[in-house]
Amino acid sequence: MEPIVVERNPPQSKLDALGVFGWPVWEKEASTFPWFYDSEETCYLLEGEVTVVPEHGEPVVFGADDLVVFPAGLSCTWTIHRAVRKHYRFA
Q: What is the mean pLDDT of residues 56-64?
A: 96
> Quick one: CATH architecture of 5-90?
Sandwich (2.60)
At 31, the pLDDT band (50, 70, 90 cuts) reads very high
Supply the pLDDT for residue 22: 98
Strands (E), the chain: 5-8, 25-28, 31-36, 41-54, 60-63, 66-70, 75-90
- 6: nearest Cα among 52, 57, 47: 52
- Predicted model pTM: 0.96
